[in-house]
């Protein structure tokens, strides 16, 4: 009787140890931040310690001021474009919307905000921006302001743009950089997602970057 009890206890202990070891391995692979972040493992370009962003002041589509302080406390995906854009802007925002949904499903949506900055403030009023960005997601923000103020942010993030309105009319195109920029919770420029943009690849990179940095 004692032998049978001892044998059962031993088997139970082995099983418990295996379960604990398996759980520990799972925790290590899914919960712990990686020790390093190698650009070779990312689709994005990661900028190490990040870069400072010059103080700026813009206006969101609700009429509220949007400054450097609004980039702090969460991660931010920024994309520059214009509402009359025929292809790159709607396609990118559609992918960002998919990425937003995937982040929500993974429980990360509350840590990331998505912001669309117009490079065409002449036509992109707050009302037009609101109708445009909320068509992709109710949570997206649209920013506008004077061209000078927009350029303060665009220059720091490496976004160039050229407006082709030589004839003075309102039917013109704007060439602009198509990268999506990632800003960290300290308000520093952290990574660049080059085009073409694919939601699944962006979310994979964001998961790696957020885990590397730990809780915001």
CATH number of 39-213: 3.40.30.10
Give the tens place of pLDDT for each residue, 138-184: 999 999 999 999 999 999 999 999 999 888 888 999 999 999 999 99
Q: Are 153 and 53 in contact (CB under 8 A)?
A: yes
Cα 83 from Cα 66, distance rounded (Å): 19
Cα 143 from Cα 152, distance rounded (Å): 13
Place of tokens 């206006």: 59
Q: Are 41 and 191 in contact (CB under 8 A)?
A: no
Task: Give me the pLDDT at residue 214, please.
Answer: 85
Give the tens place of pLDDT for each residue, 84-98: 999 999 999 999 999
Place of tokens 């960005």: 133
Q: pLDDT: is 11 or 57 the higher one? A: 57
Q: Which of 121, 161, 159 is nearest to 143 (CA)?
A: 121
Percent of all residues in the chain with a pLDDT value above 70, rounded to a whole number: 82
What pTM, to 2 d.p., does this model score? 0.82
């Amino acid at each position: 009787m004692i032998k049978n009890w001892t044998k059962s206890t031993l088997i139970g202990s082995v099983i418990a140890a295996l379960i604990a070891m398996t759980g520990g391995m799972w925790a290590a692979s899914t919960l712990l931040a990686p020790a390093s972040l190698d650009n070779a493992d990312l689709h994005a370009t990661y900028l190490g310690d990040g870069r400072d962003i010059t103080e700026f002041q813009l206006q969101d589509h609700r009429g509220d001021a949007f400054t450097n302080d609004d980039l702090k406390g969460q991660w931010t995906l920024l994309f520059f474009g214009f509402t009359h854009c025929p292809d790159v802007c709607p396609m990118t925002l559609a992918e960002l919307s998919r990425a937003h949904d995937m982040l929500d499903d993974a429980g990360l949506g509350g840590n990331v905000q998505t912001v669309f900055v117009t490079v065409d403030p002449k036509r992109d009023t707050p009302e037009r921006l609101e109708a445009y960005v909320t068509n992709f997601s109710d949570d997206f923000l649209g920013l506008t302001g004077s061209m000078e103020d927009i350029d303060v942010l665009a220059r720091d993030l490496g976004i160039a743009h050229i407006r082709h309105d030589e004839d003075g009319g309102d039917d013109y195109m704007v060439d602009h950089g198509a990268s999506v920029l990632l800003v960290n919770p300290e308000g520093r420029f952290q990574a660049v997602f080059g085009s073409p943009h694919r939601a699944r690849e962006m979310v994979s990179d964001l998961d790696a970057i957020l885990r590397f940095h730990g809780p915001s």
